[in-house]
């Protein structure tokens, strides 16, 4: 009996050691996150299956988007998604910024991917005060996905990390039809975020009067419309922040990026030789992003200059609307306001000496035909 127990214990120990060394061998064969992401983003399902068969964890995280399931959701590649789901991928796993596969599919407008994830048991709602798939779909303007998520019980008034709702995100991006959809389904138009801004405030900030009328009662809209435009602040669009010079890649990082580009170019050549045109196009986009990251970033235009250009455009539109309605006196006042703003812009852009006056001439019949000249007072003291 003791001999049998000894042999059994020895067998268990040998099996445990074998499993341990196999795990070590599998870990040593893990692809680097960049290569893993590049192959999956190129739609290489066969390579993904090969990696999984070799022991790569099903929820292994790539360099950019996340797990293989997340990459499939981002691409709308249901074959890739099915592979990872069949192998036991965690459907609600989050990446390093808290995004889940359902959020990726919603953001990209991939309805088939959304349906597959919902069928696999993906959670429709996020925890309180977190971004949700409904936020992402509303922000991107995907009405079909918003409708599907709401049918599955998505919280129409879910609050993001800063308290914003899906309705506010649709207003922010100017998706008027989406705003109407959400209101028809009962979205609360009175909610505001942590800064006190709500749907109405954002509608006026971005000069979207049609949306403003939709999200406000008539008295509320009238009161808001009577306030000066400056009260709403300058609109800030959702654009990537410029990279400061200090963030330029170091020589070592640049060499590493160039080596990665060479590797991806080899992969692209292989894909092209196999006639995988869709995968080649995806690889071309990835290569373009890597090459763009190596280019110097141009100096951004001053924020004040951009704000003045936006204000001029808005005033010109208002002036045209007044003139079209026959409100000549109001149009004339708007002409003077436009001329004054242009004068401020011109003065800011010129090196004006002491005693100089900027003279702007315009015809009331054609207010856009303006001339500018610098008049120097000869009696003024030299600078």
CATH number, residue 212: 1.25.40.20
Among 6-20, 61-75, 96-110, 171-185, which stretch is predicted with the lowest mean pLDDT?
A: 6-20
Same domain membership, residue 191 and residue 136: yes
The two structure tokens encoding residue 358: 């900027």
Same domain membership, residue 215 and residue 132: yes
Same domain membership, residue 148 and residue 53: no
pLDDT value of position 274: 72
Compute the average pLDDT of residues 195-220.
92
pLDDT value of position 121: 97
pLDDT value of position 120: 98
Angle subtended at Cα 173 by Cα 171 and Cα 175, rounded to the nearest 5 degrees: 65
Bridge partners of residue 41, in order along the sequence: none
pLDDT value of position 252: 64
Same domain membership, residue 92 and residue 48: yes
Among 73-77, 189-193, 269-273, 319-323, which stretch is predicted with the lowest mean pLDDT?
A: 319-323
DSSP label of 66: -
Inside any domain, residue 342: yes
Same domain membership, residue 96 and residue 152: no
Same domain membership, residue 118 and residue 144: no
The two structure tokens encoding residue 12: 């268990």
Q: Tell me the range of 62-66, 147-151, 267-271 where mean pLDDT is highest.
A: 147-151
Inside any domain, residue 271: no
Inside any domain, residue 264: no
Annotate 276-314 with DSSP letters as a single string.
Answer: -HHHHHHHHHHHHHHHHHTSPPPPPPPHHHHHHHHHHHH
Inside any domain, residue 255: no
Same domain membership, residue 148 and residue 48: no
Picking from 91, 123, 155, the residue at the C-terminal end of a domain is 123
Angle subtended at Cα 59 by Cα 276 and Cα 68, rounded to the nearest 5 degrees: 20
Model confidence, pTM: 0.59
17 pLDDT higher than 60: no
Q: Tell me the range of 28-32, 89-93, 308-312, 328-332 where mean pLDDT is highest.
A: 89-93
Ordered alpha helix ranges (H), the chain: 2-28, 33-41, 45-53, 68-75, 78-86, 101-108, 111-119, 133-140, 143-151, 166-173, 176-184, 199-205, 209-215, 218-225, 251-273, 277-293, 303-324, 328-349
Inside any domain, residue 244: no
CB-hemisphere CA count at 13 Å for 63? 13
pLDDT value of position 341: 64
pLDDT value of position 8: 46
CA distances from 16 to 13, 21, 25, 26, 252 (A): 5, 9, 14, 15, 42
pLDDT value of position 276: 74
pLDDT value of position 251: 65
309 pLDDT higher than 70: no
Query: What domain count does the chain have?
Result: 4
362 pLDDT higher than 90: no
pLDDT value of position 343: 58
212 pLDDT higher than 60: yes
**CA-to-CA distance for 99 and 227, rounded, in angstroms?**
39
Give the Cβ contact number of residue 254 at 10 Å: 13
298 pLDDT higher than 50: no
pLDDT value of position 345: 57
pLDDT value of position 18: 44
168 pLDDT higher than 70: yes
**CA-to-CA distance for 273 and 279, rounded, in angstroms?**
11
Q: What is the CA radius of gyration of the chain?
A: 30
pLDDT value of position 188: 97
Same domain membership, residue 110 and residue 145: no
101 pLDDT higher than 60: yes
Kindly state the percentage of the chain with pLDDT values over 90: 44
**CA-to-CA distance for 118 and 149, rounded, in angstroms?**
9
Please give the residue range of the domain that contains residue 308. 303-373
Inside any domain, residue 70: yes
């Amino acid at each position: 009996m003791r001999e049998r127990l000894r042999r059994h214990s020895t067998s268990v120990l040998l099996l445990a050691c074998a499993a341990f060394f196999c795990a070590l061998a599998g870990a040593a064969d893990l692809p680097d996150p960049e290569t893993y992401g590049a192959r999956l983003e190129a739609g290489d399902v066969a390579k993904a299956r090969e990696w999984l068969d070799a022991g790569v964890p099903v929820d292994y995280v790539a360099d950019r988007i996340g797990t293989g399931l997340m990459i499939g959701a981002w691409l709308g590649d249901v074959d890739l998604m099915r592979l990872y789901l069949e192998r036991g991928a965690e459907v609600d796993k989050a990446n390093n910024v808290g995004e889940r596969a359902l959020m990726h599919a919603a953001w990209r407008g991939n309805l088939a991917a959304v349906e597959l994830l919902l069928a696999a048991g993906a959670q429709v709602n996020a925890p309180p005060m977190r971004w949700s798939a409904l936020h992402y779909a509303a922000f991107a303007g995907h009405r079909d996905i918003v409708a599907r998520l709401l049918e599955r019980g998505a919280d129409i008034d879910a609050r993001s990390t800063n308290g914003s709702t899906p309705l506010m995100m649709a207003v922010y991006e100017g998706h008027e039809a989406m705003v109407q959809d959400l209101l028809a389904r009962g979205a609360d138009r009175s909610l505001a975020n942590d800064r006190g801004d709500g749907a109405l405030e954002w509608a006026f900030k971005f000069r979207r009067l049609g949306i403003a009328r939709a999200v406000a009662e008539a008295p509320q809209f009238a009161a808001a419309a009577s306030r000066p435009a400056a009260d709403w602040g300058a609109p800030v669009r959702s654009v990537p922040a410029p990279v400061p010079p200090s963030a330029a890649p170091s020589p070592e990082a640049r060499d590493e990026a160039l080596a990665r580009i060479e590797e991806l170019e080899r992969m692209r050549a292989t894909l092209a030789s196999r006639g995988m045109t869709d995968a080649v196009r995806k690889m071309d986009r990835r290569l373009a992003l890597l090459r763009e990251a190596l280019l110097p970033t141009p100096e951004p235009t001053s924020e004040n200059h951009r704000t003045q250009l936006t204000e001029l455009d808005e005033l010109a539109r208002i002036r045209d609307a007044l003139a079209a309605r026959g409100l000549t006196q109001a149009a004339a006042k708007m002409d003077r306001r436009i001329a004054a703003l242009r004068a401020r812009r011109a003065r800011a852009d010129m090196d004006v000496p002491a005693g100089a006056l900027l003279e702007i001439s315009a015809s009331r019949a054609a207010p856009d035909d303006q001339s500018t000249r610098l008049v120097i007072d000869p009696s003024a003291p030299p600078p």
